[in-house]
Amino acid sequence: MSGSLSRGPSYSPAGSFENTALQFAARRGSIEQIRYLIESGADLDAGPDPALHLALHKQNVFIAHLLLQAGADFECRDSHGDYPIHIACTLGLLDIVHTLCSLGCSVEVANQKGLSPLHLAAKNGHIPVVRCLCASGCNIDIRNSDNIKADITALKYGHNDIAELLDRLRVTGQRDAFARQLVPTSKSALRLSLRLLGHCGVGKTSVVKSLGAGLFSSLFRRSSSLQSNKSRPSSPINTQIEMDVTSRQNSLSFESPANNGTNGISVQNMSISNVGDVTVYDFSGQESYFSVYHHFLWPTPYSLTAILFNLEDPPTTQVQQVCFWLNFILARESADLPTAEYGQIVLIGTHVDLTRAVKTQNGEWLSPDAQKTLESVRKMVPHAPNLMSHALVVDCNVPASYAFKQLKSILSNMRQELIQQTVGTWTGLLEASLTWLATLQKDYEQFPVLTRPVFAEILRCQVNLLASDDHIDELLQQLHSMGEVFCIQDLVVISVPWLGVQLIGELLSNHFLLHARVTGVYTTDDFQASYNQCDALGVLDLLEALDVCIQCDIDGEIEYEFPIYNHMETLEGLWDSRDPRYSIKDSKYGGVRLYTPPGTLHLFKSVFPHLQVELRKVSMQLYTNNDSDTDLYQWYMGSKLCANELESLITLEEDEYIEIKVRGPNDTSVQCFYFLDNILKTIEQALFKVCPGLMIEKHVMSSQDLKAHCDEPFCYEPQSISTSMLEAESTLDITLFNPIREKHETIVELIMFGNVELASNMHWGCVSKVQDLSGPVKLKLCGLLDPPEKHGRDWCLLALKLGLCQEKIAALDSQHSSHTMRLLTTADCSIGALVSSLHELDREDAVEVLLRSAPLFRVIESSNS
């Protein structure tokens, strides 16, 4: 702070009055000076125009809040006879009005012109402020000095909506009831959610039915189960047939053996005995639905995610399927959240009644295979937060069994642990809205989707006239987390079961995909003919919000592209080796392959249609901005993007890796470099939108092999490139050996398309800060380094290696969340230094994670892109 800043008064050139330094700072909007003067004990209310009034006149809400928090007097007038409430209501400063009302200011005091705060808000058309004043208890019949009510003032100045609001409040006589609805009560608004995932045929739907069964239906389901088991023939021939059928299903296949599985996502709000209200999500095991599951798998401490597996399957199949679903879930959850923000995960082995498992006297099935599956999974996915240490073993058709009692006990314990955290979140508005939703769903039964403004308007008309935008936003968040509505962008789906089964279940079903247009492109009329249950335009808006399709303007005609429907085969000559532009000696080639970490399978296929949507957005943006001659052609799991003379090919190969190839004529190395970088950023954006917790490896393709159009070009693994960077004196001198061509390639050829000058615009990964590591990489390291290691080679010793003092280490240890995550956030060192420290600790497992997944480089300037 400058030494010239004074706390005392300073003379005003106008000579009318003196201004303090605080008043000058309020006029100028200097937050730093305001804070300094407040801390220095300056008089907050000095002068005929106090600093609070001056800040409000300048509409500087932040400074006004600082002054109010510091204790500025909000019940004093300025030189114009206005209180702060008058200025805020005149200018429509809703946050300040709300704060002043909560502090207890008078909401009926008149200014020198005889206008109350309500008159001022009505005169200037600020209906949110009018709602706030009415909810705070102001007299809606108050008159100004001319004996005129506020609704007449509103009509005079053309604000009919305010006049109508005040008139309805007067007619209904429910103003006080509406105001009470907006006040939180001591009741908890907690509702748990149970998410069931697993392959087709593992028994998810049967588990849902058993959870919802009452006493008599429970007995019926049990007798049905016993009868079905008794009727099962036990001949060797039948046994052999069953084994043959099972063997065909024992793979990472997502196809249902019969057409009786769940379509889409079945969502039910049910009351479970001894637990209470629970929202149950039954996710289909059919692969065609996976691309939208991320919208429903948001991380929340109020969820229990159950991964079901069939105990009839071989142990290797059980482990493979459970690992897939566990990685699928982790990929769709942000990796940098505190552990407490994730819900619990439990494994459930099903069909135990068809195995040789033994049942104890209290009805518990003993299945060593289930626990072995869990132990194997924990070793393969050590970074899974909140994975329970015991697997449940169930006969899905026996609701009163010991296993279902265990499952209900888990839910009940979660409820008891979380209920205190949500005390005070229940409001009368929420309670009234839950009742009202049933009526609203009937009114919009055919197409239960509203925009947020329409939802807000109807809610105010039918539930609470005084609900503010903030009240409605909070309400929608609560209803969304309860599974009562589904909010995405500006849309509110008021029937989640309709969304999960009737829309998603139908439009992404195998049957619909089989009969969809092979190009995946529809006009509005075409789509209406294919799906005539409701208005096509509304459905298309919702599907576009879900990123299932994208609207395209093709020469003035609006079409919708659905990459998930596109089953066009790739065309010959898309990457022609004889094209003269790219067949000359000095043409430029480069490429990257993106892999998921070792041990993970089949995670890219459900994301690739989203990637194609993002590519279409980029191509349309370039076309609209006339930045380049851009063209995008897309087919099943493949896209070709061209910009001027540059070409790229983006394909999903073998369902396991994404390949990006770029080429350009001679003298286009700079353009090729930025073209590839922009494509990678687009892909990373699509991946992050769907899978923010997915760790990605970048393998660099041989430029020589790409230029030679080899069928299987050699790829340099990221760990070999990162190791070379750490060992080399100069990164630009690195050469890597290509065993296919038995030649060396330089890092300049592989990454910079042969242009060494691009190095000035790059920041190499080994010298990047640890904080630059992605969230998924940090989470993986947490899974490896958090558990105490028998030789002490865990996070604590690593902290010492990185130079943290004992006090800082003790502070890390005192935190309840991951020690390693806090260490990686605190340590001020490079990724290369972290790798060296881990080498010294002989933690090669953590070193491999870093070398495979840390960024190879980062572009720090893209002016030539």
Q: Which two tokens stand for residue 686?
A: 């699509």
Label residues 268-291 b or e (16+ Cβ within 10 Å = b).
Answer: bbeebbebeebbbbbbbbbbbbbb
Domain boundary among 733, 761, 789: 761
Q: Which two tokens stand for residue 349?
A: 């082995």
Q: Domain holding 83: CATH number?
A: 1.25.40.20
User: Would strands 9-10 and 657-664 be described as parallel, antiparallel, or unpaired?
Assistant: unpaired
Give me the average pLDDT of each 10-residue run along the chain (865 residues): 37 52 92 93 91 95 96 93 96 96 94 95 97 95 95 96 95 93 88 95 93 58 42 33 33 60 92 92 96 94 95 94 96 82 93 87 86 94 89 91 93 90 88 96 96 97 96 96 96 97 96 95 95 94 97 88 95 90 91 93 95 94 71 95 94 92 95 95 95 95 95 94 90 91 93 93 88 88 80 72 69 64 84 90 91 90 50
- In a shared domain, residues 140 and 285: no
Domain assignment present for 573 = no
Phi, psi of 428 (to 5 degrees): -60, -30
Q: Give the residue among 370, 382, 388, 342 at the shortest CA–CA distance from 599.
A: 382
- In a shared domain, residues 242 and 386: yes
Q: Is 246 helix (H, G, I), strand (E, B) or coil?
A: helix
Q: Domain holding 783: CATH number?
A: 1.10.533.10
- In a shared domain, residues 614 and 670: yes
User: Would strands 276-283 and 192-197 be described as parallel, antiparallel, or unpaired?
Assistant: parallel
- In a shared domain, residues 751 and 634: yes
Domain boundary among 524, 547, 570: 547
Domain assignment present for 574 = no
Domain assignment present for 535 = yes
- In a shared domain, residues 359 and 277: yes
User: Would strands 344-350 and 392-393 be described as parallel, antiparallel, or unpaired?
Assistant: parallel
Domain assignment present for 583 = no
- In a shared domain, residues 210 and 340: yes
Domain that holds residue 390: 192-422
What is the pLDDT at residue 622? Answer: 76
pLDDT tens digits, residue range 91-122? 999 999 999 999 999 999 999 999 999 999 99
Domain assignment present for 437 = yes
Domain assignment present for 562 = no
- In a shared domain, residues 711 and 801: no
- In a shared domain, residues 353 and 400: yes
- In a shared domain, residues 729 and 851: no
- In a shared domain, residues 451 and 516: yes
Domain assignment present for 244 = yes
Instruction: Look up the pTM and report it.
Output: 0.88
What are the beta bridge partners of residue 630?
643
According to DSSP, residue 570 is labeled P
Q: Is 582 exposed, middle or buried (0-12, 13-18, 19+ CB in 10 A)?
A: buried
- In a shared domain, residues 170 and 24: yes
| Number of domains forming the structure of the chain | 5
What is the pLDDT at residue 242? Answer: 30
Residue appearing with tokens 């592989």: 750
Q: Which two tokens stand for residue 670?
A: 């700079």
- In a shared domain, residues 713 and 613: yes
Q: Domain holding 410: CATH number?
A: 3.40.50.300
What is the pLDDT at residue 313? Answer: 94
Domain assignment present for 817 = yes
Query: Using CA atoms, how far apart are residues 415 and 302, in angstroms rounded to an integer?
Result: 8
Helix ranges (H only) for 630-733 are 669-690, 703-707, 718-727
* C-alpha dihedral, 389 to 394 to 399 to 405, nearest 10°: -20
Label residues 128-140 b or e (16+ Cβ within 10 Å = b).
Answer: ebbbbbbbbebeb
Domain boundary among 368, 403, 422: 422
Query: Using CA atoms, how far apart are residues 823 and 826, in angstroms rounded to an integer?
Result: 5
What is the pLDDT at residue 624? Answer: 67
* DSSP codes joined into one string, 19-75: EEHHHHHHHHT-HHHHHHHHHTT--TT-SSS-HHHHHHHTT-HHHHHHHHHTT--SS
Query: Using CA atoms, how far apart are residues 636 and 639, in angstroms rounded to an integer?
Result: 8
